[in-house]
Amino acid sequence: MKLIILIFVLATIFVSGCVTETTPEIDQMCRSECFNAKEAGTDLSAGPCLSSHEDWVCDVAHDPRQDVDNLPENQCPEYGKTASHFVEVDPECKLIRIV
């Protein structure tokens, strides 16, 4: 029984470490960039990368995901290199997820 509890506790710690906490400012900054791109007439239907910042990127995608979202030209190239987190918004600038 103690082993089961230990496994449960370790699993909980492991899973909680995989969730990225972020500030509301990052969410708002990405959404603001999205609104600015829309106002400038940028076509967001292809799911472009909007910007790159220190350790995070802002990307447009669809929910549910579409094939166009997985094309390399629509990915933020900094993600996985200089940025380890991303914010995804849909073409209407609604938050999809923060990783």
Q: What is the pLDDT of residue 24?
A: 76
Per-residue b or e along 21-37, where b marks 16 or more CB atoms closer than 10 Å to that residue's CB:
eeeeebeebbbebbeeb
Domain carrying residue 89: 22-98
The dihedral built from the CA positions of residue 32, 38, 41 and 42, taken in this order, carries a sign that is positive
Q: How many domains does the chain have?
A: 1
Residue 33's closest CA among 66, 56, 62? 56
pTM for the full model?
0.73
Residue 45 placed within a domain: yes
Does residue 41 sit in helix, strand or coil? Answer: coil
Q: What is the pLDDT of residue 20?
A: 46
Residue 96 pLDDT > 90? yes
Residue 3 placed within a domain: no
pLDDT tens, position by position, 22-54: 577 899 999 999 999 999 999 999 999 999 988
Residue 94 placed within a domain: yes
Residue 4 placed within a domain: no
Query: Where does the pLDDT of residue 2 fall: very low under 50, low under 70, confident under 90, or very high at 90 and above?
Result: low
Residue 8 placed within a domain: no
